[in-house]
């Protein structure tokens, strides 16, 4: 593959077409930048030369300090409901959109920074980021990508040489990430709040052209955009639920129009299965607990629908009726996606009716909840059970009689173990291993991070030397917490 050897072209389409949603801004110059980790496969997809990115100009691009002369970096404006409370002006408080890259596939993707310094949206914050949280986003987003779940991706993490004050003094870093775009529900909330119908219409046209082009030919393009986003989010959240992922901060400014997972702050994967699990240190009421994620997504989509009403129909009552019907499609679409995924996780035949599938999974999850069984381990062990050896699965449960009854019902369906092995990962970024890798990296040891990244890069493959990375936490007591990093 041919790659560029010079500073790449950065298009400024968002800044050019939607200037009311952007403030021109530049990244702070870090005192002593040092590349910590580079995603070479992603760099090649973007038609970037990894060797160049490792050099001074490349690191300058990854920190936003060495850009093409015609680049137009901006801090994006957006609003958002944060834990249910509306904030009319959020925006990129420690981030910058450098512009859009067009890779070898011809598809434009945002190049975006986190931790690049304060902006007009910082609201008194320092605009900086610590190394650990930026490496967390790198690890979790790459794990999601390897699992086949739509996501923003991390291109690189660069240590800045500037300490960051949180509870402790921590090494600072900048994350360079790539996304289909950074359009969010909050972007539409901000545009709608201005009362500028032309701005809202241009934002809709921009989103349609970039993410859901079929909507342009609909009788009501704004409604067709809503339909497309509802469908994308129904599928996305179902995929989260199937692998036990908890986003942690499902505010409207963290829901993309593209259907990609974004903003990996206090996020984590389930250890012991419990639908009430909350990992975020700031989610005191459990608003975004594991089981609440579909409901939270539907609520966010209703807020998105509200912004589009003036463009759906001139008659407000008709607009509300049409938009409400669109949002109500989320639940059945999510259920269809979830049930299809459950069918493959249990290796069940296509002829089995959906109610039986959901009942069988529900019974299994209740057994797992009562005995605090590791979510990933249990589903992976079922592949072995389908081949005749049920002991690894049975050994996870205290209620052996209950597990045996469930196994008998499930085995009667003649499950497909090969399908299950392609669906149930052996490797996820397990919480204790993530913390171990981030702590070591913060102290300058990148070895554990490298091994963890190797494990999650092929999540369905069992490989020698990575056995420890397939095991559940040895001391999971349900007290694990994650933090947003600001």
CA of 126: how far to CAs of 129, 166, 289, 454, in Å? 9, 10, 29, 33
CB 344 within 8 A of CB 361: no
222 Cα distance to chain centroid: 25
Q: Dig out the tokens for 135 from the structure.
A: 């490496």
Nearest Cα to Cα of residue 485 among 122, 135, 244: 135
Q: Dig out the tokens for 279 from the structure.
A: 């990992």
Q: DSSP readout, 208-228? A: HHHH-GGGGGSSSHHHHHHHH
CA dihedral 134, 135, 137, 142 (to 10 degrees): 150
Nearest Cα to Cα of residue 278 among 18, 33, 480, 12: 480
Phi/psi at 484 (5° precision): -75, -20
Q: Dig out the tokens for 464 from the structure.
A: 């020698």
CA of 88: how far to CAs of 24, 91, 114, 347, in Å? 20, 9, 21, 47
CB 294 within 8 A of CB 275: no
Q: Is 253 a catalytic residue?
A: yes
- What is the rounded CA–CA span in Å between residue 467 and residue 272? 19
Q: Dig out the tokens for 120 from the structure.
A: 């007009």
CA of 260: how far to CAs of 153, 182, 256, 302, 349, in Å? 10, 9, 6, 18, 30
DSSP 108: E
CA of 336: how far to CAs of 5, 157, 458, in Å? 46, 38, 27
Q: Which of 110, 253, 271, 374 is catalytic?
A: 253
- What is the rounded CA–CA span in Å between residue 150 and residue 141? 9
Residues carrying an active site annotation: 253
């Amino acid at each position: 593959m041919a790659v560029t050897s010079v500073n790449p072209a950065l298009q400024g389409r968002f800044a050019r077409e939607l200037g009311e949603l952007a403030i021109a801004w530049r990244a702070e110059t870090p005192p002593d930048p040092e590349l910590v980790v580079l995603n070479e496969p992603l760099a090649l997809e973007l038609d970037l030369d990894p060797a160049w990115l490792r050099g001074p100009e490349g690191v300058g691009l990854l920190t936003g300090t060495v850009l093409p002369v015609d680049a137009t970096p901006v801090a994006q404006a957006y609003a958002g409901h944060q834990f249910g409370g509306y904030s009319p002006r959020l925006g990129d408080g420690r981030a910058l959109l450098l512009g859009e890259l067009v890779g070898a596939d011809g598809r434009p993707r945002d190049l975006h920074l986190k931790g690049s310094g304060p902006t007009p949206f910082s609201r008194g914050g320092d605009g900086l980021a610590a190394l650990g949280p930026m490496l967390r986003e790198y690890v979790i987003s790459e794990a999601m990508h390897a699992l086949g779940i739509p996501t923003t991706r991390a291109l690189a993490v660069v240590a800045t040489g500037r300490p960051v004050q949180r509870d402790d003094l921590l090494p600072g870093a900048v994350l360079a990430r790539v996304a289909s775009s950074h359009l969010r529900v909050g972007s539409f909330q901000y545009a709608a709040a201005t009362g500028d119908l032309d701005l809202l219409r241009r934002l809709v046209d921009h989103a349609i052209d970039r993410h859901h082009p079929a909507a342009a030919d609909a009788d009501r393009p704004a409604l067709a955009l809503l339909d497309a986003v509802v469908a994308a989010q129904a599928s996305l959240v179902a995929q989260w639920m199937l692998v036990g992922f908890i986003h942690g901060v499902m505010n409207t400014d963290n829901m993309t129009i593209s259907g990609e997972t974004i903003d990996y702050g206090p996020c984590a994967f389930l250890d012991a299965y419990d639908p009430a699990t909350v990992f975020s240190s700031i989610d005191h009421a459990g608003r975004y607990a594991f089981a609440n994620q579909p409901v939270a997504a539907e609520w966010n989509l209703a807020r998105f629908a509200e912004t589009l009403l003036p463009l759906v129909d001139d008659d407000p009552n008709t607009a509300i009726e049409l938009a409400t019907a669109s949002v109500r499609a989320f639940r059945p679409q999510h259920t269809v996606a979830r049930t299809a995924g459950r069918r493959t996780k249990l290796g069940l035949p296509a002829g089995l009716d959906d109610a039986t599938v959901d009942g069988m999974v529900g019974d299994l999850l209740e057994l797992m909840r009562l005995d605090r069984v590791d979510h990933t381990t249990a589903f992976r062990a079922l592949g072995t059970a389908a081949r005749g050896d049920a002991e690894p699965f049975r050994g996870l449960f205290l209620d052996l009689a209950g597990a045996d009854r469930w196994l008998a019902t499930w085995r009667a369906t003649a499950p497909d173990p090969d399908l299950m092995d392609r669906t149930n990962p052996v490797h996820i970024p397990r919480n204790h291993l993530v913390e171990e890798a981030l702590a070591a990296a913060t102290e300058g040891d990148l070895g554990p991070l490298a091994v963890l990244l190797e494990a999650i890069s092929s999540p369905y493959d069992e490989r020698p030397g990575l056995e420890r990375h397939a095991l559940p936490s040895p001391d999971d007591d349900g007290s694990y917490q994650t933090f947003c990093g600001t």
